[in-house]
Structure 1
Amino acid sequence: MKHDLQKPPASSFERIEIDSSHAERISKPSLSFWQDAWLRIRKNKAAIVSMFILAFIIIMAFVGPMISPHDSETQTITHANLPPKVPGIEKLGIMNGVGTLAGKEVDLYEMKKVDTYYWFGTDGLGRDMFSRVWEGTQISLFIAFVAALIDMVIGVAYGGISGYYGGRVDDIMQRIVEILYGIPTLVIVILMLSFMDPGITAIIIAITITGWIGMSRIVRGQVLKFKNQEFVLASRTLGATDSRIITKHILPNILGIIIINTMFTIPTAIFFEAFLSFIGLGLQPPDASLGTLINDGYKLIKFQPHILLYPSIIISLLMIAFNLLGDGLRDALDPKMKD
């Protein structure tokens, strides 16, 4: 059985001409390293949520004391140990000013004839916990960021010099690091604070005495890795100075590692400051930080749990958010993690 095959008309065929100048054109727009990193970190939902949480806490640390109707240092003994009470929310049965007295739940605001609201309640001296919590967060964040900045500067400079010049310079500098690393940090902190008055300056100095060691080791390893790469050797052959090689070629390649390590240093500094304040070596009353507030709250956890609750929630959110953001930045800034 034969089938009649009809030849398609010539008009069905069209000659396609390709311009040689566009033959290898890349249609997708080129992205810089930071643009590519931002696109990848946007895919990490945990890192994005952490960024919003950190932004909210940092903003509230500065705005919170200003929007509060009460001052953080004003003591009103008749308003002492009041539970939280928030307008509107009190109708839902929570944060309504009801506390336990002699085993019975009573409205402490009505009993003490208090006609104002304390959003986070008050402490044993009648001070507003809302203002104190956010001012304490502000101080803890300030100590952590300053300590992390100092650690980064000292660690990058020390590790960079040690790794780049190598030889005897590296041997001497690394022996110093090993001596400092072998001494427990808490011992150094206690010795430092025994010669200084407890306060913000003392805590920052105590944290930064040995805090830069981890950063210096990481930077030294990265510099040792890159200083013998071909592009560095080519730059040195063309007559580039050591300072130009470090600032223009090596430092940009290890900047991602520095940022990631700094993001993990900040929560460590926050926790260490809280620990020092908790054991009585940090800030002294009436100054407040997350550590001092937690120290005050755990003593009254059975009777006034709100004093411990709010600073504990904030320090937990800070620790978790910074670590999740650090993980996200590690994945975004590491070229090996590209999908």
Structure 2
Amino acid sequence: MSQDIQKIPADSFERVHIDSSQAERITKPSLSFWQDAWLRIRKNKAAIVSMFILLFIIIMSFVGPMISPHDAETQTLTHANLPPKVPGLEKLGIMDGYGTLAGKEVDLYELKKVDTYYWFGTDGLGRDMFSRVWKGTQVSLFIAFAAALIDMVIGVAYGGISGYYGGRVDDIMQRIVEILIGIPTLVIVILMILFMEPGVTAIIIAITITGWIGMSRVVRAQVLKYKNQEFVLASRTLGASNGRIISKHILPNILGIIIINTMFTIPGAIFFEAFLSFIGLGLQPPAASLGTLINDGNKVLQFQPHILLYPSLILSLLMIAFNLLGDGLRDALDPKMKD
């Protein structure tokens, strides 16, 4: 059965003219790798909050001892074992200087005739805990950042050379790594303490002796992945030197992985320093670090819990914030690692 075909008038169509010069024009502004990564990390609320927490703690570690009216090392035995007391908060019944004495809640500041405020209280020698906590945080952060920086430099150089040159060089270097992995880290630390005086330098050296191994293995794997890529082969064909290939082609592509691993190295170094100081192999009194302060607070936990509370809280915040920020950087710089 035939049907009538309705024809559309020719004047219903309009020819579209496209300028060939504008055909491939990109209307959206192009973003660099780091700009794109920043846009991704901004969407991660946990990473942004962690960034602000870390920034606050780092600033306070330097500013805290200066804004406190008391020195971190000055001993005032008549002010020993005072609880926290903060102006303004004392009227709310919080941090008001009251403590337990002979089973009763009394104002220890009034009892000892102390007319000044200790915001975090004092320890058994009458030293200001506010100054000591931030001074200890400063020392712990310095050790962690120094150890992480040394681990990054040695690990990137060692892993890069091993992966790029390969062959017998790679075999020899990886056998050395396997030998170092087999030695327990705590044994190395004890040996270092026997030959060196316990202190910041000894802890940094002890952490970095084997701490760079993880970074070197990650860098080696990435270099092995990229050194045979087409853009590297093309650069080598055009006569580029090994140094130029590494600095211009391989290193920029693995920079994100290096940053991510460094961010996870820092909290590990902070915890390791705190552990060494807690068991007595790290910094020695009267030097302050988060580990030594936690060790001091553990001894008087039943009677003076504030001595343990503040360094433990800061250590926990540092560990959580660095790990959350590391997760955020991993998702932003290398989204494939999330899978």
TM-score tier, shorter chain, comes to over 0.9
Partner residue in 1 for 2:68:
68
For 2:280 and 2:92, the matched residues in 1 are separated by: 39
Shift of residue 159 of structure 1?
0.4
Distance 1:216 1:255 in 2: 13
Paired residue for 2:78?
Answer: 78
Return the offset for 1:91: 1.2
Q: 1:45 matched to which residue of 2?
A: 45
- Report the Cα distance in structure 2 between the residues aligned to 1:310 and 1:140, rounded to whole angstroms: 14
In the aligned structure 2, how far is the partner of 1:174 from the partner of 1:23?
53
**CA distance in 2: counterparts of 1:129 and 1:15, whole angstroms:** 80
Residue type of the alignment partner of 1:238: L
Deviation, structure 1 residue 16 = 5.2
Q: Does 1:313 align with 2:290?
A: no
In structure 2, C-alpha distance between the alignment counterparts of 1:268 and 1:178, rounded to whole Å: 21
1:132 and 2:132 correspond: yes
Map 1:239-258 to 2 at 5 A: 239-258=239-258
The 5 Å alignment of 1:202-217 reads 202-217=202-217
Q: Please report how far the alpha carbon of residue 138 of structure 1 lies from its aligned counterpart in structure 2 after TM superposition.
A: 0.2
| Superposed displacement of residue 201, structure 1 | 0.5
How many Å separate the matches in 2 of 1:18 and 1:336? 39
For 1:145 and 1:237, locate their aligned partners in 2 and report how far apart those are by CA, in whole Å. 40
- Give distance in 2, aligned partners of 1:242 and 1:13: 61
Opposite residue 229 of structure 2, the aligned amino acid is: Q
TM-score relative to the length of structure 1: 0.95
Q: How does 1:61-210 map to 2 (within 5 A)?
A: 61-210=61-210
- Residues 162-185 of structure 1 show CA distances to partners (whole Å, capped at 9, x for unaligned) of 011111101100000000000100
| Unpaired stretches in structure 2, ≥5 consecutive residues | 1-7
TM-aligned CA deviation for residue 141 of structure 1: 0.2
Question: Distance between the aligned counterparts of 1:265 and 1:254, measured in 2?
Answer: 17
Measured in 2, the distance between the counterparts of 1:105 and 1:18 equals: 85
Kindly state the Cα deviation for residue 335 of structure 1 after the two structures are TM-superposed.
Answer: 4.7
The answer to whether residue 271 in structure 2 is matched with residue 271 in structure 1 is yes
SS in structure 2 opposite 1:25?
coil
> What whole-Å deviation, never above 9, does each CA across 1:90-122 have from its counterpart, x for those lacking one?
111110001011111111001111110000000
CA distance in 1, matches of 2:284, 2:114: 30
User: 1:14 & 1:307 partners in 2: Cα distance?
Assistant: 82
User: How many Å apart are 1:19 and its aligned residue?
Assistant: 2.3
Q: What displacement does 1:293 show?
A: 0.1
Q: Find the residue that maps to 1:309 and give its secondary structure.
A: helix
TM-score (norm: length of structure 2): 0.95
After TM superposition, the runs of 4+ consecutive aligned structure 1 residues lying more than 6 A away are 12-15
Q: Distance in 2 between the 1:189 and 1:163 partners?
A: 29
Query: In 1, Cα distance between the equivalents of 2:325 and 2:245?
Result: 31
How far the C-alpha of 1:278 sits from its partner, in A, is 0.4
Query: How far apart in 1 are the matches of 2:107 and 2:336?
Result: 59
Q: Secondary structure at the match of 2:283?
A: coil
| 1:18-46 C-alpha deviation (Å, 9 max, x unpaired) | 32222221111100000000000000000
Amino acid at match of 1:242: N
Query: In the alignment, does 2:301 pair up with 1:301?
Result: yes
The letter of the residue matching 1:137 is T
For 1:201 and 1:76, locate their aligned partners in 2 and report how far apart those are by CA, in whole Å. 30
Partner AA of 1:303 in structure 2: F
Q: Secondary structure at the match of 2:132?
A: helix
Aligned counterparts of 1:255 and 1:31: Cα–Cα separation in 2: 18
For residues 26 and 175 of structure 2, the distance between their equivalents in structure 1, rounded to whole angstroms, comes to 52
CA distance in 2, matches of 1:163, 1:236: 16
SS at match of 2:285: coil
The CA deviation at 1:123 is 0.3
CA drift at 1:242: 0.7
Report the AA paired with residue 123 of structure 2.
Answer: D
Alpha-carbon RMSD across the aligned residues, in angstroms, is 1.8
Distance 2:236 2:177 in 1: 29
- Letter matched to residue 59 of structure 1: I
Distance 1:203 1:167 in 2: 35
Q: Distance in 1 between matches of 2:27 and 2:100?
A: 69
Looking at structure 2, the residues matched to 53 and 335 of structure 1 have their Cα atoms a distance apart, in angstroms, of 24
Going from structure 1 to structure 2, the CA distance change for 1:267 and 1:195 (only over 3 Å counts) comes to same
